[in-house]
Structure formats: C-alpha cells, structure tokens
Structure 1
C-alpha cells in the first residue's frame, strides 16, 4: 500500500514546493522560469549538436557549440573563449533581455489601459441630431430598438446610450437582443446621467431628442427628476434639447414636468400599464394591435400637409387616399381633432393625421367609387352590462387597475381579488362604491385547488399580475408564468378557453408564457417605451397621442366587422371606412379570423389599401378610432398633451392613461 501511495505523495510534495516558491517573490518566479527554459533549451541544443555530422569531434568543441546554440536561442550573445568572457556575455545578454522585456511590458500595459479606457466609453460623442437614451431599465431594449428601426433606410444615424453600467456589457446586451440594422450606429457611454460632466459625453445639447428612462430602484422617479435638472445645465445660449421622460409615481409628475421644461414630455409608466391591462381585459387582442400601431416596423401615425384639400369635408378627405387611413385633423395651433364629424370642413392650415406605412406613396386619389352602400350594416344599439373580473396577484400597479375599474365599469360590476396571505393590501374607501363591488380572497393562485374553488369560467376577464422586482427571491415573471400554467391546465381539463390577460416585466418571457386561445400578454412598460420613441421621433404627434390615449370615452376599439358591413358579403376596405364614417368613427385596420389566425395576436393588418376586396365574416374585427365625449384636448406648453400630462381640471371622470372606450 505504501508503494502505491508514494508517487501521489511525491507529486503532492513537488506541487507544494512549486507553489510555495512562487509565493515568495518575483525573483523566485524568474528563477523557476529560467530553470524551466534551461531544462528545455540545453538538452535540445545538445541533441542538435550531437546529431550534426559537421559537429566537432572533441568533447570540448561540442560543448562549445552547445553553449553557442543555447546562448543564441536565449539571446545571450554566444561569445566563446575564457569562462569570464562567457559569463560577462551572458550577464550582458540577461541585462539586455530584462530591459527589452520591461520596455515591452510598459508598452503593453499602456496600450491595455488605453484600450480599457476606450472600452469604458469616455470619449465625447461628436454627432448632431442623434438620439440620446439616458438610464438603463427593461424599457431600454424597446426604446433603442424602435429608435434604430426609425432610422433604417434614412441614411446614417446614431443612437447614444448613457448609463451607470459597463460599456461593453451594455453594447453586448443591446446587440444580442436587437442588433444594429442599416447604417445606424449604436454608441454606449459609461457614467451617471445625473452628472452634467458625464452627460457631456453624449452631447445632449446637439441631439435631436433625449429620452430619460425610469429604473426599477426605489428612488427611480427622483433619479428621473435629477437627470432632467442635469439636462438643463446646457451651455449658455443653446436651446435645451426636446426631452421625453417617464415616471412611475404620479406624485412626482409635476416636479418632472417642471424640470423637463416647455419642450419636455413626461409619461406615467405604471398608470399606462394599468390602463392597458384593463383595456386588454375588455378588448381581447388590442395589445397586439397597439404594438403594431406604435412600433416603427409597420404602419404608424403620420401628419400630412394637404393645403390642396382645403374646403373638403372630413369624410371626403378620408376617402381621398388609397394607401392610408385618415383618422383626424391637427389644427394650426397644434390642437388635435380626432374622429371629427364627417361634415367638418378642412381649413387651409389644417394637417391630416393618418396611419400609413413609411415607404408608402400617398397621392390624392378619389376612392368613393369603390364604396358599395348596399352592403352597409344597419346601425344597432350596443348593449353594456355589469362585468365580473378576477384579479390574481398584487403589485404596486394593481391599485391603479382597481381604481380604473371602479371609475369606468357599469354599476353592479364585481371584482374578485385573489392574493396571498402576505400580499393582502389595506383596503381604502372606493372612489365610486356603487359601481364596483371589490371582494378580497386570501389564497395562493399557484394552487390548483384554490383556482378550482373559483367560478373561473363565469368571469368576463381574468387579470394575472406579477409581483414587483423586489417582492421576493424569484424572478419577477416566475409567479405570473406559473399562474398562467395552472390556468392553461384547467382550460385543457374543461375544454374551454379562459379570457386571460397577464402582466409580464421581461419581453423575453412573452414566448415562454403558456397562453390559451383567448389569452393575451401585456409587457410592463412596453407601451410607454413605444410612446416615448414615437414622440421623440415626431414631437408633433404628442397632442395626437394625448387624444388617442386619454380615458374620456374615446380612443381605440376592436369591433365586429358585422357592425359595419353585412357578414358573408364581398366588399372593399373603402366600404368599411365609409360605413364607419357614417357612425362618426375612423377605421385604422382589421383583423381576419380564420384557420390560420388561432391566436389573438395574429391576422392584424393596419392601413390596407382601400381597393382591397374580401368577404367579411361575422368573426372579423375592425380596429377603429372613436371620438372622445369631452371634445378635443387643449394643448398647453407645446408637448403637454400626452398620457399623464393632462391637468385635473381639463375634464374627464377617470385618470389619464390608456383609453377604456
């Protein structure tokens, strides 16, 4: 046994001796390195000499050749003769080798430090009319992706990102998630956006737009206000850049608006998410339509100057463009008038608000000849009734969801809230107690028995809310995904679909969500990021988005095609547009239902050509813009008119945010 262990012990002792020697000093490391070099160079040199047919015959001659070969290999000179001369030659060679190695090390270290400094992004961005994104959050991927998409095909563009993160990490994550298309260049810089010196690295004073993102920290809104104040420290004589920012807590909205200045726009991300959740629970499929409408990949809002159409009615102007959908007017003072009465006359200074694709030519063409009034559906009353809603989970946005339902549902509606024992909120006095009866149930939505105890298939909608990022050790979307998995299992057991809408934080969780045929997903902050990108790209659309997303009875709606044309009849898209205009509504697009559109986010087609013909079924849906009951919004301060910017006295019986019509 002792003999079998001896080799292992010898190896351990040699390894320990080697480690101990190396730990002593740099000289010990050099000694080991010299010994290893000699252990390889001298034997190989001797082998070369002894195998050379022309080598000297005497032993002293061969040893001299071994010394010369080894010295030349190690750059030690190779002088022969007296031992003292050979020693001095070796010493001189070692000194020269040490000097050269030191010089190489100094150069390498300097270059390495310089490259590291460059990778950290400390050079100033020398660009003009570029887009600047300040801060890092989950919205950065949506915002940067849309800014890049907006610049595709429009020549060279630059998107600069400044955050208190490593530059290489930011670039790798953004490029891995988004990539950079066309000639758009992505530039990342490291620094605190609240530091004016760090802000100078991305040159915000010469930027075309600046976007300030809220983080997930507890003081995120305070950080946004500090960034907005830092942006005001631009060089004297220069106009501050147009800024688009977002805050989570409405208590900081006024301060953020003051810090942003007259050219700033501030949105409320949590309120917008809550509004979209309620809207998605009432109008299945609408989140997918909003994503298509607000991103830059398909059709989006545009403003057209059409002085040659002055004197025409809005109905006539809406049927003058084949490849776009006219949805409203923008007055000379910036006041939007969306879905106006059909007989509204256009003034020479009016501009048309349209939904169209970027690469579409928009000549004026009379499309009235493609309208077939014989297939118009007779208008009928729309019946509304009290609703039953189930809310699973609780987070900081859930009170906004509850408050939105309390303000907008029909009297007699019921909201059942299922929360865990540690998540039960403290109930407050409802704003409109006669409209909504809120009942709290303490149970774990992850338990199948708790869900089976509820009448799941008796609810008009089920809203799944994920916890906040700091609510537990698990990832924020984990509980929401597990709840969706339990609901999907119950759907399979019953063979029936549940009307579910889930709130997720990470866009990468969307493809993981086990959604049923009647389920939908709202990614937290995604709509806010899309709105920020749209407003930064075209500030003139800010009042338009205020009118579209204000909760005063107007906004976007998905309605059956049978409300406009007779089911089973063939008709052009112009016929649908004309039928909607008769009801005071503007069509934006449609969603076909068929064997290839089993999911709610399939089949949307925005701004098709008015000459397109198809057989309309009762299951098809029409995306329309309906007028607000309170009339057009009054624009204050240029870019005030956006979600979360309307003052309390400007009308409406519900908070600002996503429309609920």
Structure 2
C-alpha cells in the first residue's frame, strides 16, 4: 500500500486561502487588515526602539509606534484619549474609501476608453488607401497582393470586419506577405453605414468586398454594396470589386455595385480551375504566377503610332520582353486572341504579359524565328476520358456540369461520396447520362484504402478531390481532403507511376502540409478570385480583359505539350514557339520546364521569357498559351462560359457557364 504524500506548507497555505480567505469580500478585507497589522506594528516598534532620538518613556515610545503605524496605513496620527484616536482611525478609513472609489472610477473609465480604442472605433483619416470589407480566408491573399502591388513602398490597407480588432491584428501578424504596408483594422457590422464610414471608403483608392463562409454571405455582400452607395459619392468615386459565392445573388450584387463595380463569382471560378487543373495538372500554379503582383502579369500598352495598320501577327513579334495576347479597342471592347490578320487601329491598346521591372520597348524579333524547328502538324482531338470525383460540396454540381459540357463522347465520370454526406446527390437524382459523359454515383469511405482499391484509381485519367464546405460544422474542413490525398499518394507509391490528382483546399496553409505527388495539384478555394480582385482593384481597365480570358469566346489559358509547336529535342528560341503557336491560333506567354523530381508544382514555370532566349526543348516541357480554339458547345450550343463574367452587359442568359478546360 502506497503511503500518503506529505502535504507541503505551500499546499496548506493555498488550501487555507480557498477555505477561509476567499469566502467573501468582507472576510478577505478582515484577513488583509490583520495581515497588515501583524507586519506593520512589529516593524514600527523595531524602528522606534532602534531610534536613538526616540522618547525614553514606555508611553512615549508606544505613541511613536502608533504614529508610525498610522502614517504607514494612512489612518491618521491623532494622539490622546482613546476616543480621539478611534475617531482618527474612522476618518482615515473614510478617506481611504473615498480615494479608492475615485481611483476605481477613473481606472474603469480609462480602461473602457482604451478598450474602445483597441476595438477600433476611430475614423481612418487616410486618402488613396485600400479598403477591404469582410473577413474570410481570402483576406490574407488580398492584403498580401495589395501590399505587393505597391512594391514595398508603404501605403495603408484598412480592414473592416465584424471581428475583434486585436484578433484580426494577431492573425495578420502571424501571416507573412503584408510587410511594408500599414494595416488599420476596425470592428463593426458591414451593413451599417456608420461603421463603413470608419474606414473612409469615399476617399479610398479602391474598395474590396469579400464574402464570408456564412449561409447568407452573398446576401450580406449585396447589403454591404447598398450601404456603400451613399458613402462613395458620384461616378468618380473609387472602383469597387466584390465577390459572391453563387449565382443566386450575382445579378443583385451587380445592380448594387453600380457602373463602377465589378462582381466576381467564387464558386464557378474555383470549379473551372479544378476542371482545368484536372485536365492539365500544374495550371493552378501558372495562374497564381500570372495573377499575382510578383513576376509577370497582364498590362495594357498603348499602340505606338507606327504600329497602327500592322496585323496582329506582326505586332506579336515586335516586343522582346512582352507577350502580346489581345487588344483593347478604343471603344473599350476587349479582343483576346484575335485572328493573326486583325489590324491595329488608332486608339487601340495592346494586352500584353510583361514584368513590372522590365521596360517594354519595340524590337523586331522576326529574325529570331527558326521555321525548321517548328512541329509539322498539330495532334488530333483527344479521345474519351475517365474522371473520378471524390467528395461532394457546394461546387461539385458546377464541376460535374463543366465536365459534362466539355466531355468527348464515351467519357465516364464516377462520383464517390462519404456515407454521412447528406449534401451529395444520389443515383436517383443523377443527371441524364445519355450525352457524351456517363455519370455514376457511389458511396464509400474516402479515408479508407479499400474504397480507392475498389475503384482502381490508377485506371482514371484524372482524380478530383473535394472537401466539405467550410461552413459545414467542421473546424478544419481540409482534414478529410488531406486524408484522401494521403491514401492516393500511398496508391501512387505502391504502383510506382504518377497519378494526376487535383484537390480543393480551404486554407492556404494546408497546401504546405498536403501530401502531393509528382502529378498532384492543389487549388485553394477562393484564391484565384482573391488574386483577380486585387488585380482589378489596382487597374479597373483590366476587368473586361480578365472576363475574356476566362470565357471561351475570347480565349482560355492552357498548358499545351511542347510537341504541338516545336520539335522535342531541338534547340530553338522562344520567338520560334510564339510564331508556331500563332499558326495554330494560340498565343504563347511562357513555358513550364519538365522537372522530374520537382519539390512543388511551381518548379520550372517561367512566364514571359525573352524572345531571344534559346533552350533545348524536352518532350516533357509544356507551353503556357492563351488559346482561341473553341470548345465543344454544351447543350443548346452555349459556349459563353464566362468566368468570372464580371460586367452586367454580358448577362445575356442565366445558363450555367460552360467553358473549355481542356489542356
């Protein structure tokens, strides 16, 4: 039998405090008074008895002890008869109570005022700053891009959200990317004009409205845009860029934003990127590189007077450090990937991909083209494909619809959902599979290896992994997708061959932890929308260009095999690739070199290389192009496929967007 543990003096003191001292305020005051007397009176007596000038008589020394103790405890120093001394003590206690009450009132008032200031209730007095309204995972990407857009030259970004100011500042401090920019956080409801006035949107350079993960997030965006209208003034106010998750409130948001506003659709943008990346893994990394402010991005370049009258094919080879992909007509109409014979007119601006730190100067690059290195002919159309969709969420119907609209005859889509996923469609609800894409629904444990073995994942051309929505009651919605990726990575290692997989993640930090294989790709939900919002807020004239970029009628970003343009194993300049792509209706803007053991999907990507750059093109290299090749029409012949379809005048129909995600 184990002996009892000896109780320490510290434990006894704590137990005594809990059982005796902490019973009530009066008990605590009594014990404190007794403790003070036990310490003050003996020490005062020692001081008196050690004083050589102290009185010699006992009564005189006791009086001196009383005076010293009373002065220490601020109880008065009156001497004489006991009643007089008691009255002095009473008066001292009353004075102590009044002073303590006054100090408490002042401390409480100052504390409340400081707490109010910490909550962020003062009005921002900046001009030309960026205003971000709302709080979601997109905010870190938006703020980082707004900071990068200023090139580290400082500036102010004011954030208003219905969150605690200190918590927002701590979240930004823990997230790198906003260095060199001063962040000002304010707390308040986004639909209250008085709260919106705290961040001074009328004097801002741009205003961005982010959707939350709540069920009524889109409706809140509409209400926020309506509350902004009286604060922004006339048509000369700052540009407004907003985002909604779905199509239900998209038209209402555009009406509320007015003519100065641009509204993006997050779910459709994410769904399209998932399908594009499934067809050609690595495209998401190219888009991140193209749409962020680091490296090359889209610019508008005024056509020189001597360029007026040139064909577009001639203009495409007139710049060493820029890749020409389209036009912005003098009337504001964008034309991406125009025909090579299209003629430049007066007032037209060229849409180019270029680096900020590289001057774009006219240079005739036609002599750099080597026709002998060009590929003789383009490959034929791809055959049917087999796609496996693991998981279900709010964007899954859009993914299925995009796959169905662009599928080749005989293609197959197998959908596997968890048994407890009540949001998934059942086979009875499955769409008609009499078209080019046959769709089958199954139920299985996505975290279990037996499910993946049942469906023979290695027999599919691509695998798409979807996690639950962030608002589905899960604190970490990426956990299920990460488990599925871990199972897929294990199957890939067992088979010893690459498996094309693209996964949708909610948190950008999950991309680092994701067990990605050689052909794996990860799409962070809402990240592309956040990058587009930052780009458009800094240059609103690019809004119609981005609309055309993500619409099949104008052009689509794709990764093409290098053998489509130049002979693999042959050394050639990038100007040769550009000329060969022009012959096939594509506009080359960069390449991704084949890196067999790349540490991440971003390795090997190079956008807007110099036309004179020569390299030995390997068979595994891929060319980044903006393609004018039309996609197979969906039901009813709809090929509009606008993502993000930002402008109100493009709304000719409410049909779901199609688009060609083919590689």
Give the structure 2 partner of residue 151 of structure 1: 150
2 CA distance for matches of 1:654 and 1:19?
Answer: 67
Distance 1:656 1:529, change over 3 A: farther
Give the structure 2 partner of residue 462 of structure 1: 463
Q: Does 1:216 align with 2:213?
A: yes
1 CA distance for matches of 2:182 and 2:141?
Answer: 16
Q: Which moved more, 1:499-508 or 1:301-310?
A: 301-310
Give the structure 2 partner of residue 655 of structure 1: 657
Aligned residue pairs: how many? 645
1 CA distance for matches of 2:227 and 2:380?
Answer: 51
Distance 1:480 1:6, change over 3 A: closer
Give the structure 2 partner of residue 105 of structure 1: 104
2 CA distance for matches of 1:6 and 1:439?
Answer: 70
Match of 2:192 among 195, 198, 214: 195
Displacement of 1:117: 0.8
Give the structure 1 partner of residue 637 of structure 2: none
Displacement of 1:345: 2.3
Match of 1:295 among 292, 295, 298: 292
2 CA distance for matches of 1:607 and 1:326?
Answer: 10
Give the structure 2 partner of residue 384 of structure 1: 382
Displacement of 1:425: 0.8
Name the SS of the counterpart of 1:439 in structure 2.
strand
Name the SS of the counterpart of 1:446 in structure 2.
coil
Displacement of 1:594: 3.1
Contact 2:585 2:629 in 1 (8 A): no
Give the structure 2 partner of residue 636 of structure 1: none
Q: Does 1:417 align with 2:415?
A: yes
Contact 1:126 1:203 in 2 (8 A): yes
Q: Does 1:20 align with 2:9?
A: no
User: Aligned runs of 1:539-618 on 2, under 5 Å?
Assistant: 539-552=540-553, 554-594=555-595, 597=598, 599-618=600-619
Name the SS of the counterpart of 1:234 in structure 2.
helix
Deviations 1:374-431 (A, max 9, x none): 3222232333100000011111211111111111110110001112234341455647
Gaps of 5+ in 1: 631-639
Deviations 1:569-626 (A, max 9, x none): 3333233223222333222111112356354321211112223332221111111111
Q: Which moved more, 1:353-362 or 1:617-626?
A: 353-362
Name the SS of the counterpart of 1:233 in structure 2.
helix
Match of 1:375 among 373, 379, 386: 373
Distance 1:256 1:481, change over 3 A: same
Give the structure 2 partner of residue 314 of structure 1: 312
Distance 1:254 1:332, change over 3 A: same
Deviations 1:475-526 (A, max 9, x none): 3111111111111111222222211111111111111111111111111111
Contact 1:551 1:659 in 2 (8 A): no
Give the structure 1 partner of residue 476 of structure 2: 475
Contact 1:214 1:248 in 2 (8 A): yes
Task: Spell out structure 1 runs of 4+ moving beyond 6 A.
Answer: 4-11, 646-649, 651-654
Gaps of 5+ in 2: 632-641
Distance 1:441 1:432, change over 3 A: closer
Give the structure 2 partner of residue 139 of structure 1: 138
Contact 1:552 1:659 in 2 (8 A): no
2 CA distance for matches of 1:237 and 1:293?
Answer: 33
Deviations 1:138-176 (A, max 9, x none): 2122222212221234x4422111111111111211222
Distance 1:523 1:68, change over 3 A: same
Contact 2:369 2:576 in 1 (8 A): yes
Q: Does 1:274 align with 2:275?
A: no
Match of 1:408 among 406, 409, 414: 406
1 CA distance for matches of 2:337 and 2:14?
Answer: 86
Q: Does 1:366 align with 2:364?
A: yes
Distance 1:127 1:660, change over 3 A: farther
Contact 1:313 1:345 in 2 (8 A): yes
2 CA distance for matches of 1:312 and 1:428?
Answer: 55
Give the structure 2 partner of residue 117 of structure 1: 116
RMSD: 3.1
Name the SS of the counterpart of 1:254 in structure 2.
helix
Name the SS of the counterpart of 2:20 in structure 1.
helix
Q: Does 1:357 align with 2:355?
A: yes
1 CA distance for matches of 2:600 and 2:436?
Answer: 33
1 CA distance for matches of 2:97 and 2:285?
Answer: 68
Displacement of 1:89: 5.3
2 CA distance for matches of 1:109 and 1:211?
Answer: 38
Deviations 1:170-201 (A, max 9, x none): 1211222145322x221111111111221111
Name the SS of the counterpart of 1:300 in structure 2.
strand
Name the SS of the counterpart of 1:251 in structure 2.
coil
Distance 1:227 1:51, change over 3 A: same
Displacement of 1:52: 5.1
Give the structure 1 partner of residue 250 of structure 2: 253
Displacement of 1:335: 1.1
Contact 1:572 1:614 in 2 (8 A): yes
* TM-score normalized by the length of structure 2: 0.89
Deviations 1:196-222 (A, max 9, x none): 221111222222222221111111221
1 CA distance for matches of 2:198 and 2:654?
Answer: 43
